[in-house]
A and B are shown apart, each in its own frame.
Chain A
């Protein structure tokens, strides 16, 4: 009952006309930005941050959340029409979506994607609503030692689950923490790594790094890759027949649940969820061999999973204040700018933010469905925006975002520097997510570590004596071995195949 009352309260927040407008703006902007190949939810959120200056936290988070799941929603459009996923989370969608489009059934694929995304999103908001309060109650007892361990786990999980090299992922994370401690040490007032530059005393604003490493770097990458003009396919009818709807049902529900739990786990986000959903359905299906040739289930499963994971990733963010992915890290950063720090306390002190966001997600998903179905042909036109113009616009968006935050040309220079850093990282296979996560968590990590040691009077055993903290640290260590174990399994499989041959 308590949950229901709270949810009604949430709707009373989310249904205020201004918040309705924000949800609408959020999902619309998210859909459009997510659709453009190369600009994912991180860039979408970072670009939208300046708009939230001066908003109240509940409205701001409602808008940001809308941008996030809108971007995942929109990413499927370019996956299907161009075979160029707009968002990493929609790569799996293109496996069957693009073949469908080639057969002239793009409309059908887009409609399936929209329905599945809607179901996936809605199912997992329900899960978020049930699980988050429980977790928040549990997390109230967390002290600094547990928080420190939790953040270490979040970081190592993100590093180990990125498909790039483990060493490079760890380097990215360490560099991220290094950037985060630049400036005045809040505990002692000591200046660190400022090199006498007064603009660095306050530290480097995370928005500059996020926009640089994601959005601006993307411009350079697109320049180097060159754009291949792709032909768009005719969209065709959006109607689904009864058989298809029946066929889609079970996979969508299964993938929604799977996606939700994948999203809750630190480090695993929409991308992993969509691949999981796809491969599970391919295994279960009687016609698994037609996957990859335009099977409707192959579109439905990843689309349900990635949207479910997206809502699922709000569980750790809202209840613990620890993001589990690059995107939620940027969301957290946006909240911190506004002076809101999510966590078990926010759940108690600011129920309007917590429940307002949850209620707004229900509304946002309905908006997305209503927006996407009739407007699909219109949205497809956005994909025709000339690449040259798009690149220039992205640069200007980044500049405005940073300048609107600090009004300083020095920061614009930093933005360019981080754009080049991000470009280098992309060229040499360093994952960006660990860096941005570390940047957000770095300060808080150091603070928790010091507080924990302050309480224990300098006894380092404090991290080992507490059951929760030691479990989390153990998991963190374990997660670093995942890639190693994976490699061994792959080698074994290879050896087996060769033996058979």
Chain B
């Protein structure tokens, strides 16, 4: 697997496959029944072709050791943390759960080597995966439990999970935030939020 040595190569291949799939769809876009100079399929074809070319370019591009950035870019910025993402992290190929998971596995080993006191749940990638799962749950229960309950539980739960240990304050914040939001949005801004079993 020498070809897959660098993340850019892996991503190049992924984008190559994506562009092929995209183009296949583009060539199947039905024709409009009147003659127009540009039909619906032209733009997608051009885009797909561009992505195809770019995926080759990415495949052959040298990897720079990217740094994770802490602050959001407005337009662009300089990386601001010194935390380099190591090769092993970079091996994960995409932003799907699976990719993150593989990276987490590798990370797991790195971390254990460095710091055995970190519990399994506090590994960065584990935290990301759990956060994603919590959010999925939150979405699933959002309408069923109603806004106040689901948001309150979610806020309290995730804050606790991220390591905040002052439960009373946590509870107070979770409750007040979900209640204040509910009333401001529904009463002042007339935005509908699901009530759930609570009838206020």
Contact = CB atoms under 8 A, between A and B. Distances in A.
A271 B77 contact: yes
A495 interface: no
A177 B75 CA distance: 18
Nearest to B163: A388
Contacts of A272: 75-76
B27 interface: no
Contact of B158 (A325, A392, A400): A392
B4 interface: no
B38 A224 contact: no
Interface string A387-416: 111011101100110011001010011001
A241 interface: no
Nearest to A389: B159
A277 interface: no
Given A389-B173, A458-B37, A416 B72 contact: no
Given A171-B54, A424-B95, A450-B38, A416 B136 contact: yes
Given A54-B190, A225-B68, A457-B37, A396 B83 contact: no
A326 B75 contact: yes
A187 B76 contact: no
A416 B132 contact: yes
Interface residues of A, number: 99
B159 A162 contact: no
Contacts, number: 262
Contacts of A425: 95
Interface string B5-41: 0010001000100000010010001101000111110
B119 interface: no
Contacts of A336: none
A214 B75 CA distance: 12
Interface string A47-68: 0001101100000000000000
A181 B44 contact: yes
Given A190-B29, A407-B192, A412-B139, A389 B154 contact: no
A192 interface: yes
Interface in B170-200: 170, 173, 177-178, 181, 185, 189-193
Interface string B53-73: 011011001001010111111
A29 interface: no
Contacts of B154: 392, 395-396
B40 A192 contact: yes
A187 B74 contact: no
B80 interface: yes
A178 B22 CA distance: 9
B149 interface: no
Given A85-B80, A164-B76, A388-B162, A91 B36 contact: no
Given A389-B162, A431-B73, A454-B38, 12 more contacts: A42-B74, A54-B189, A164-B76, A167-B57, A177-B47, A222-B70, A224-B128, A391-B162, A395-B135, A413-B136, A428-B66, A458-B38
